[in-house]
Amino acid sequence: MSFTPSASTLPANATHANLIKDEPESGFWKGFNTPLYLNLISNAPPTSISTNPATSTLCITGGPRLTFFTPTATSYTSKLVSSPSPVWCHSHRSDGKLISFGGENGLFRVITSNNNTYTTLRTFDSKNIKGSIRSTSFLPSGSTVLSTADDGYLRVYDVKEGIEINEIKASNDSIRSLTTGIFKSNNIVATGGYDGLIKFWDVESCDNLGEIECGEGINCMVLLKDGETLISGSGATLNVYALKKTGDGGIEGRLLHSSKNHTKSITSLTYSITLNRLTSTCASGHIKFLNLDDYTIVHGMKYPSPITCMTVNEDRIIVGMSGGGISVKIRGKKGVNAEGGKKRKALSGTYSHFTRGKNEVIGKDDYRVTLESKKKLSKWDKDIKGFKYNSALKTALESRNPKVVVEVLNTLEVRRGLEQSLLGLESNEVDDIINFLCRYLPAPEYTKTLVKVCGVVVEKYGGDKEFEEGFGRLREVVREEIGVRGKLWKLGGGIEGVIRERKIKDLE
């Protein structure tokens, strides 16, 4: 993912010192104690969170869409931006007017943001991209946008022309992190991959300017405001590097600090300029707040689920969790609103509103209502809910229940995932699909759905000689079905017409 500093909402003369006044450091962070709980409409785990630098609007990606919230994160601001595939990452241009986002199947787009109205500006060609887009960022000039993907390539695009400028093979493994603005330059960027290397590139000349070996796969990086201090999350280890230009124009990094404050992999790093604090999160659900003067931990928080992404500013801590929930902690006195005095009213649609009254004492005349437990989802339903269409089709076929298979195929068609579910199948899996079509295509209750599936299977695998025998059997089944339908049409009497035809043949 790509991470950028949080937008500041403080006056120009505000500093961390007068924010916390004379209270202890832990007391400042404990002031974030009035949580709201949100869920994305898709109920998918959030994959990246950021704040628009111009409007402070909150942007969260998860599932097949970008969701925009008001700065207080209490309501949606506009129509959601949808995409054909799950979205993994996004970034804002420095003026907040453009947003780039990438996801599965090489999805990469740039949209415009204007008064909470979002319009697709560019959709970049993804034919050469293998795997998913994992990070994206604009260069400081704003006219060029970058992306990295699972195939190990760093790609450079011209936003105005809508074309790819350069393609750099930056790693032999997936690149999960991208940082721009090295030395405050418009051309120098850093990539961090699962091969454990941080590499520096000139995106104009495509030259490799140097690299740093971290040892473990790099999930995230963040650059401090001086443009010369780079922090990486490599496995569970936090590394801080001082960058320096060499005499031959290259770049080298000197390790300033290394610590292992988490028990599991670091999933995100967030840098707050006004607070002068670094925040790291991990898959165990822990958050650590570090002082950037000496990199000591000044406070910690624990969440119930693994944390996937977060952002923090002077009055909000917004955390996305793998279970699909979003926690928004607001700075203020416990149970009191930020303006002081009155108890905060639970907002409709929030978790607090759902659980209001749970601490009330039950009287002897009160009637207790028990809720029935939710029906357990089948494996294929869970796969569909998680956008794992290929796996959903495979598990449905393993059930050997035609009703289940057809129901799953219908659901995939409604979700526009039918073609995706039939891609990348093994030879035996393609044979299973063809055998299923041969057996159940003539069944009237399944014919309408399976005819559409036939078209997709023939289009994807029809030219492969390995399946020539199976497609031959399927061709005969289709011809026979067409013959039966033709006779019914000629007779015009449905099944009664077929019975009449058979009686006539018996008489003859």
Structure confidence by residue, pLDDT tens digits, 341-398: 455 677 777 777 787 777 666 777 777 777 777 778 888 888 888 888 888 888 888 8
Q: Select the highest-mean-pLDDT range: 9-13, 44-48, 79-83, 218-222.
A: 218-222
Distances (CA, A) of 83 to 15, 38, 108, 123, 435: 40, 21, 10, 11, 33
H helices then E strands: how many in the chain?
Answer: 11, 28
* 500 pLDDT higher than 60: no
* pLDDT exceeds 60 at position 304: yes
Q: Where are the alpha helices (DSSP H) in 3-75?
A: 16-20, 25-30
Reading the block at residue 213, the tokens are: 């070996």
Amino acid at 428: N
Instruction: Report whether 134 contacts 148 (CB < 8 A).
Output: yes
CA 96 to chain centre: 20
Residue 182 corresponds to which tokens in the numbers above? 């090295």
246, 254 in Cβ contact below 8 A? no
Q: What is the mean pLDDT of residues 51-61?
A: 88
Report helix angle 389-398 to 427-440, nearest 10.
60
- CA gap 164, 154 in Å, rounded: 11
34: three-class secondary structure by DSSP:
strand
User: Could you tell me which residues come within 8 angstroms of residue 114 by beta carbon, excluding any fewer than 6 positions away?
Assistant: 97
Task: Tell me the domains of the chain and their CATH numbers.
Answer: 16-332 (2.130.10.10), 379-503 (no CATH)
| Cβ-based neighbours of 364, under 8 Å, separated by 6 or more | none
Residue 333 has pLDDT above 50, yes or no: no
Q: Which residues contact 389 (CB under 8 A, 6 or more apart)?
A: 383, 412, 415, 417, 418, 420, 421
- pLDDT score at 34: 66
Residue 68 — very low, low, confident or very high, per pLDDT cuts 50/70/90?
confident
Q: What percent of the chain clears pLDDT 90, i.e. is strictly above it?
A: 35
Q: Which residues pair with 154 in a beta bridge?
A: 148, 168
Q: Helix, strand or coil for residue 476? A: helix
Computed over every residue of the chain, the mean pLDDT equals 82
pLDDT of residue 344: 62
What pLDDT, in 10s, does the model give residues 168-224?
999 999 999 999 999 999 999 999 999 999 999 999 999 999 999 998 899 999 999
Cα 507 to Cα 87: distance, rounded to the nearest angstrom: 67
Task: Check pLDDT > 70 for residue 505.
Answer: no
Asked whether residue 10 carries a pLDDT value surpassing 60, the answer given is no
Task: Indicate yes or no: pTM above 0.85.
Answer: no
* Predicted local distance difference test score (pLDDT) of residue 7: 37
- Closest C-alpha to 266, from 252, 287, 297: 287
Q: Which two tokens stand for residue 133?
A: 């887009």
| pLDDT over 90 (residue 14) | no
Predicted confidence (pLDDT) at residue 5 exceeds the cutoff of 50: no
Q: Could you read off the pLDDT of 436-463 as tens digits, one per residue?
A: 888 888 888 888 888 888 888 888 887 7
Examine the pLDDT at 257 and tell me if it is beyond 70: yes
Decide: residue 289, CB within 10 A, 0-12 exposed, 13-18 middle, 19+ buried. Answer: buried
Percent of the chain at pLDDT above 70?
85
Confidence of residue 272 (pLDDT cuts 50, 70, 90): confident
232: pLDDT strictly greater than 60: yes
| pLDDT for residue 73 | 66
